[in-house]
Structure formats: C-alpha cells, structure tokens
Amino acid sequence: MMNWEIVLMSGVTEEQANDIATAMIQKCGEIASTMPASSSLSRAFTGLMNFVTILARKDSRKGGVVEREMEKFVELAETIGRDSIEGRLLMKTCVKTLNRAIADAKVFRIKVENDFMDSVPILTVLYRQLGWVKAVEY
Amino acid sequence: MKFVLKNGVTREQAAELAKAMFEKCYSTSQTMAVNSEFSHAFRILSGLVGAFANIEFCEAETFVQHVRLFSAASQGLGRSREEGRILMHYCINAICETFPDYSIFRVRNDSYSASIPILIYLDNWLACEDSKLEDIV
C-alpha cells in the first residue's frame, strides 16, 4: 500500500510553513465565526479548520496519518448538509474558497513515500478525495 | 405574487432589518476571496435583501425584476444550475440563522391566502428541479 506524506515546497522553512498554516486556520475561523455556529456553512469551515490544524503539527506529516485524517474529513463532510452529496459539494466549495483566499496554501504538498512522482498541493488532493460530484444536473 | 411585511411591522423596522441583513451578507462576502463561489453567492444575496428596504420593492414589477435577477445569478454559481441552487440554499440558511426576524419579509399569492417568508419561498422554489419563473410572477 502507498503511504502519503506531507512535504513542504522546496525552499520553504518550517517557520514560514507554520505562518501559512496559522493564516489558513485563522481564515477558516474568521469565515466560520461570521455565521451562526448552527449553520451548515459555519460547520463546514470549522471542520476544514480542524483538518488544516494537522498541517501545523510536524508529527502528523508522516505516512499513514494523512490518509486517516482525510478519511475522517470526508466522513465529516458527508454529515453536513441535507445529504452526503450536498455535504461533499459544500465542503469542496469551502476548500476552493480557502485555496483562493490563501494562495500560499500550496506549499503543503502530498507525496507518495519512496516514489519519484511529483508532489501535489494538499488542498488539491483534498478536493479530489471529496469525490466527483456531477457537474451536470443530477 | 406580492411582497408584504408581517402584520404590525413598520416600514422603518423593516428597512432597519433589511439594512442589517444587507451589511451581514456583504461583510461575509468580503471575508472570503473575491473570486470564490461563496463570495459571489453572498453578494447576490446582499442585492436581494438590500432591496427589501426599498418601498418600491412592494410593487409587482420591481419585485419580479429582482427575483428574476436573483434567480438567474443563483443558477449561474458553481458548475451547473443545480450546484448554484445548492450553494445559494446554504447561504440563505446562514442568513436565516443569523437573523431570526427574517420572516417579517413575506410573499402572498393573493389577498386571501396565508403569506410565507420570502427567503423560504425563494429557497424552496430554487430547490424545485423544474422551477420556472412563471411560477413566481
């Protein structure tokens, strides 16, 4: 089985990575706090904030942890909204919103351990993990 | 379909609430990246709720124009009409949770039927797969 690990874009220091993770967490928190906690949007951004917290933890960047966290995240996304598809769609839009708000988010990347494949930004992987929600009318 | 205020609510009170709702929608849209879907959605919603403060909104023609704009803009969000409707549903949900008094802005079919909150009406109407503007005007 392939193990994923979170790596930093080359040239980025731990301090810079921490600052970016903090900015991402603060952005999610700021958006979530502008709405009542009971609203679906606030719950979605709070869930995303919790996920982003793992980026700031150095020990969670090792293989195995990321996959587990992503699985949990997708499960959480399915509980938001009127059904699981809408929940995933809502969370995907939240991920996209965060990606656009914090352009530096792409310094956190996912790489397959012991593999020569290029790394991919973590929010892109997260977006894909939330699944394909049909673009055409369903 | 006619836009009405809840019994006992003055135009001043309604205008004040509409202003607060508009400011909330607009400030929420400003919190996010300007090119994100939610930012667009909240800006569209701010246009609609801001119009509630306008006395002219009670007139049938203006009301229909605003609903037409809102409907077209909502369905232009996301990758499909359906996605746009879903995203707008959650934005409406967030505003309704923020302002429990949202129900003072209502619509009524004719003078004998019961009125319902306009945001709920529009949300339900957007959720219908075969929603047509003719149903609302």
pLDDT 10s digits, A116-136:
788 899 999 999 988 865 544
Location of structure tokens 């914090």: A102
Is the ipTM value over 0.90, yes or no? no
Angle between helices B11-31 and B37-51 in degrees, nearest 10? 170
CB-based contact, B17 to chain A, within 8 Å: no
Split at pLDDT 50, 70, 90, the class of A137 is very low
Q: What is the mean pLDDT of chain A?
A: 87
Rounded to whole angstroms, the Cα distance separating A99 from B9 reads 43
Chain B residues within an 8 Å CB radius of A36: 94, 97-98
Model's pTM, two decimal places?
A: 0.86
Give me the phi and psi of A104, to 5 degrees please.
-75, -5
B4, β-bridge pairs: B106
Quick check: B94 and A42 CB within 8 A? yes
Quick check: B90 and A101 CB within 8 A? no
CB-based contact, A25 to chain B, within 8 Å: no
Rounded to whole angstroms, the Cα distance separating A110 from B20 reads 43
Q: Which amino acid is at A117?
A: M
Q: What is the pLDDT of residues B48-66, one digit of tens each?
A: 998 888 877 777 778 888 8
In whole angstroms, how far apart are CA A14 and each of A17, A50, A55, A107, B57?
Answer: 5, 20, 11, 11, 55
CB-based contact, B35 to chain A, within 8 Å: yes
DSSP string across B120-137: HHHHHHHHSTT--HHHH-
DSSP H helices, chain B, are 11-31, 37-51, 60-75, 81-98, 118-127, 133-136
Q: Residue B25 pLDDT more than 90?
A: yes
- A17 within 8 A of A108, measured Cβ to Cβ: yes
B24, closest residue in chain A (CA to CA): A34
CB-based contact, A87 to chain B, within 8 Å: no
- Sheet of B116-117, strands arranged across: B2-5, B105-108, B116-117
